[in-house]
Homo-oligomer: A and B are copies of this chain.
Amino acid sequence: MADQPLFERVALIGIGLIGSSLARVLKRDGLAGRIAIADASAEARAAAVRLGLGDSVTQSVAEAVTGADLVMVCTPMGAFAAVGEAMAPALARGAIVSDVGSVKQAAIRDLGPSIPEGVHFVPGHPIAGTEHSGPEAGFAELFQGRWCVLTPPAGTDRRAVEKMIALWSAAGSMTEEMDANHHDQVLAITSHLPHLIAFTIVGTATDLESHLQQEVIKFSASGFRDFTRIAASDPVMWRDIFLNNREALLESCARLSEDLAQLQRAIRWGEGDKIENLIRRTREIRRKLIDAKQA
């Protein structure tokens, strides 16, 4: 007799990089009896059908959600409130609703009000991704060795949380539970600010006089190239992240601007010691990363 799958029916709402990678994990490990996919984009739905990512593919969130014991919301965050409203009437009692959004307070704000009594809400954030997007970009190993942060509100059913831990463990991730507010502060620094800076610096380069711009491309290997890779990420996803983690991000930006002004001043006034001290300090962080096996 075959083992019971972890979930009977999983609804994946949004079949981009993360959703399609999850679909591949679910299939590979037989974690779902059935996979129902909903996506607003006809192109994404066609790709999902072509790639055989699920048992059904539909435009209707309510249809995908009906009968699901796990609903994973994998759309850009700007769509969360609308997805919540669309799925609410169709959610089965005892089901788990989770998501993969990068800002957890906003996920709770936008999806929370649509979760009926008797449905378990376990917000999550797999810290994994590439600069590519769309259903074709997904792969089952995306989550291997990466962290997934879960931010269940106080009082969330433990069995629901444990089932999500089991899912992410099967995907190869380490999981950590955290307060949503704390998550958003940490990610503002580790992810949102670096992306914001990468977009900005690449944007600054695109505004250069055209003769300079050609050479920026030619000599990009000297540092700039690393920023362009980060800056190639999905525009809608990142717009939504920036707008939804506004407070923590602007706070991080303010700190960065102060530090940048201080360094500019040291350069202007030729204060070599100050510059060298800063660079020495940043090396320490790299060493800590290597010690923590995150380098």
Contacts and interface: CB of A to CB of B under 8 A. Distances in A.
Contact of A243 (B194, B250, B275, B286): B275
Contact of A204 (B231, B256, B292): B256
A286 to B, nearest CB: 4
Interface in A208-264: 208, 212, 215-233, 235-236, 238-240, 242-243, 246, 249-250, 252-253, 255-257, 259-261, 263-264
Given A204-B256, A275-B243, A249 B232 contact: no
A42 interface: no
Contacts of A232: 282-283, 286
A272 interface: yes
Nearest to A264: B253
B199 A278 contact: yes
Contact of A231 (B206, B267, B286): B286
A200 interface: yes
A279 B249 contact: no
A279 B239 contact: yes
A41 interface: no
A180 to B, nearest CB: 14
Given A224-B191, A256-B200, A218 B250 contact: no
A139 interface: no
A202 interface: yes
Secondary structure dominating the interface of A: helix
Interface residues of A, number: 92
Number of copies of this chain in the oligomer? 2
Contact of A276 (B185, B187, B236, B286): B236
A154 interface: no
A3 interface: no
A159 interface: no
A195 interface: yes
Given A189-B205, A267-B242, A286 B224 contact: no
A238 B236 CA distance: 36
A40 interface: no
Given A146-B221, A185-B212, A267-B249, A202 B239 contact: no
Contact of A217 (B208, B228, B289): B289
Interface of A: 78, 127-129, 131, 146-147, 149, 176, 185-187, 189-208, 212, 215-233, 235-236, 238-240, 242-243, 246, 249-250, 252-253, 255-257, 259-261, 263-264, 267-268, 270, 272, 275-276, 278-286, 288-289, 292, 294-295
8 contacts: A131-B286, A147-B221, A202-B286, A225-B295, A228-B295, A231-B279, A242-B275, A257-B264
